[in-house]
Structure 1
Amino acid sequence: MREVFQQELREVQDRLVEIAELVKDAIQQATTAFGNSDVALAEQVIDSSEAVEEQAGALDELTIDILARQQPVASDLRLMVGALRMSASLERMADLAQHIAQLARYRYPESAIPKGLKKTFVRMGELDVLMAEKLVELLRNQDPATIDVIRDLDDDIDELHAKVFEKVLSDKLQADPTGVVDATLASRYHERFGDHAVHISKQMNFFLRGELE
């Protein structure tokens, strides 16, 4: 029975990695579509969003079933509880990638990025993709050092998010209300993506160290 339980725990971990990889692909494609006004790629992100939702739902069902049958304790219990919370955050991250892709689709063939913010959004996209890659690495290898890397990346995104708001409040950009709305929404999506990544890193910290911070 113990061997079966360990196999189930590994399956939970493997499924978390698989979902994180889907999220990584989604944000990579979404930021590319947003930056390049690539409507075909944007549609691809939107159409594939259900895959994360389905896998997250299946993982939740598996986790709840294991909790009911095995009644785990200590670190095993922390993993089960954390898996439920992490799958929810991963699903939300996929939704945010979809929102970014939708902005690109709505503004096609025009760019959803206002003038003067191109470099900022390119960098935000790069940081989100890097953060998603680090999440996959964290979930796969469970290296505590990766947690600090993710938090540092989130700090960088927060700084860029603040710069976007400074820009949209300027008199020059106020003349472009559509651009203000697009920039505000896109920046918020990027910032929230980072917040969910940090939440997952905290859950992994809880699993590895028994500490939420």
Structure 2
Amino acid sequence: MRVIYNGELKAVADDLEDMTNRVRVAIHGAGKALMDEDMNAAKAVIDGDEAIDALEKRILDQCVKLLAQQNPVATDLRVVVATLRLASTIERMGDLAQHIAQTAYRANPDSALPDDEKTREIFESMRQLLDVTADRLPEMLADRDATLAQQVIADDNQLDELHQESFELVLDDSWKGTKQQLIDVVLTARFMERLGDHAVSTARQVIYIVSGFDPSKEPKDLDED
């Protein structure tokens, strides 16, 4: 029975790894669509969201089955409960990447962003931060790396600051973009900031698996007593 249970847990972990890697690719693709006006990347992100949704459904079904039939306890219970939450959070990250790609796709052949140095500088910085975070997620989840999780949480402050700067852009009297670009800038910055928030939620679930620390609270140093 334990062998079967371990096999079921591994199947869930494999699906979560697949899902996370797909979302990582989607985040990179959304950044390319927005900043490079790459419509092939945008289309790939938009079309790829269906597979991410299907993986979420399968993971949720598997986790409910494990809870109902195997009655996991201790760390195993934390893993299953956290995986339920992770699947929903990571699926939402895929949706947000899709929203960014759709914004770029709808604006084509024009850009969703006005052609000024400050705007592009802010969004390029947000893109780079999200690319780094996206690359960290598969390793963080596979290795249950709490140290890497804490880094993801700490780095989110930079994304929040850039999000605030994007508001200041459109409120400034020097704003030169169109009305549509104003809407796109505000919404896209919000999508990118929310991607960071969901990455933080993912990191907190990893810390919960490792330590049992309440993921709704700020994590403390795991080396402390």
Q: Provide the rounded CA distance (Å) in 1 between the counterparts of 2:45 and 2:79.
A: 30
User: What's the counterpart of residue 151 of structure 1?
Assistant: 153
User: What's the counterpart of residue 55 of structure 1?
Assistant: 55
Q: 1:35 to 1:177 in 2, by over 3 A?
A: same
Q: Provide the rounded CA distance (Å) in 2 between the counterparts of 1:178 and 1:143.
A: 42
User: What's the counterpart of residue 113 of structure 1?
Assistant: 113
User: What's the counterpart of residue 181 of structure 1?
Assistant: 183
Confirm whether residue 86 of structure 1 aligns to residue 86 of structure 2. Answer: yes
Percent of aligned positions that are identical: 36
CA deviation profile, 1:181-201 (whole Å, cap 9, x unmatched): 111011000000011111111
Aligned Cα RMSD in Å? Answer: 1.2
Higher mean C-alpha deviation, range 114-123 or range 198-207: 114-123
State the one-letter code of the partner of 2:102. Q
| CA positional deviation for 1:208 | 0.7
Q: Which SS does the other structure have where 2:66 is aligned?
A: helix
Quick check: 1:14–1:140 contact (8 Å CA) kept in 2?
A: no
User: What's the counterpart of residue 211 of structure 2?
Assistant: 209
Where does 1:1-213 land on structure 2 (aligned, <5 Å)?
1-114=1-114, 115=116, 116-173=118-175, 176-211=178-213, 212=215, 213=219
CA deviation profile, 1:14-52 (whole Å, cap 9, x unmatched): 221111100000010111011111222211111111010
State the one-letter code of the partner of 2:2. R
Runs of 4+ in 1 over 4 A off after TM superposition: none
State the one-letter code of the partner of 1:135. L
| CA positional deviation for 1:174 | 6.5
Gaps of 5+ in 1: none
Gaps of 5+ in 2: 220-225
Q: Identify, as 1 or 2, the structure richer in helix.
A: 1
Q: Which SS does the other structure have where 1:172 is aligned?
A: coil
Higher mean C-alpha deviation, range 173-182 or range 32-41: 173-182
